């Protein structure tokens, strides 16, 4: 299930602040760091089950108030950082609802078993030959 990003945009809030890193004197003057916040607990886009899935899978990124926080400060402009934060958010939310395919157990092939036993036989013969017990 892929949620509609346009509906989610109405529930997102952005905060900006000064960011560290490259940028020279620009770093001290312009707020380029972007903090994206999404209130998972009070979201109207997702139902109870979906909210529970998001809270369990993204527990490390959700604070005690139930707000998902994503930070972007790699770029020199606020607009680029906002775009990166939105991409991260979209990726996180879509990955929450991906269902992984279960691994189907298979048997060990007969040829592999025979090769292992043959290798063991050769190794034991080599050790017996070293001891001189032909």
Average of per-residue pLDDT values in the chain? 87
Partners of 93 in the β-ladder: none
Q: Are 11 and 44 in contact (CB under 8 A)?
A: yes
Q: What is the largest CA-CA distance in the chain?
A: 86
The Cα–Cα gap between 68 and 10 comes to: 15
* Tens digits of residue pLDDT in 42-89: 888 888 998 999 999 989 989 999 899 999 988 888 899 999 999 999
pTM of this prediction? 0.69
Residue 45 within a domain: yes
Length of the chain: 134
pLDDT of residue 7: 79
Give the CATH number, domain containing residue 38. 3.30.160.20
- Return d(Cα 88, Cα 5) in angstroms, integer: 12
Q: Are 33 and 47 in contact (CB under 8 A)?
A: no
| Any domain includes 105 | no
**Contact status, residue 12 vs residue 38, Cβ threshold 8 Å:** yes
Q: Is residue 53 part of a domain?
A: yes
pLDDT digits (tens, 9 = 90+) for 12-45: 999 988 877 666 676 677 888 899 999 998 888 8
Domain span including residue 11: 5-96
């Amino acid at each position: 299930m892929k949620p509609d990003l346009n509906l989610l945009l109405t529930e997102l809030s952005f905060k900006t602040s000064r960011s560290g890193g490259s940028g020279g004197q620009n770093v001290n003057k312009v707020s380029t760091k972007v903090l994206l916040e999404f209130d998972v607990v009070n979201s109207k886009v997702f139902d109870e089950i979906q909210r529970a899935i998001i809270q369990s899978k993204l527990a490390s990124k959700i604070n005690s108030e139930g707000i998902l926080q994503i930070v972007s400060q790699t770029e020199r402009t606020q607009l680029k950082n906002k775009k990166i934060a939105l991409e991260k958010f979209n990726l996180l939310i879509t990955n929450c609802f991906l269902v992984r395919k279960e691994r189907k157990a298979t048997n060990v092939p007969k040829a592999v078993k025979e090769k292992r036993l043959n290798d063991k036989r050769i190794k034991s013969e080599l050790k017996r030959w070293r001891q001189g017990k032909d």
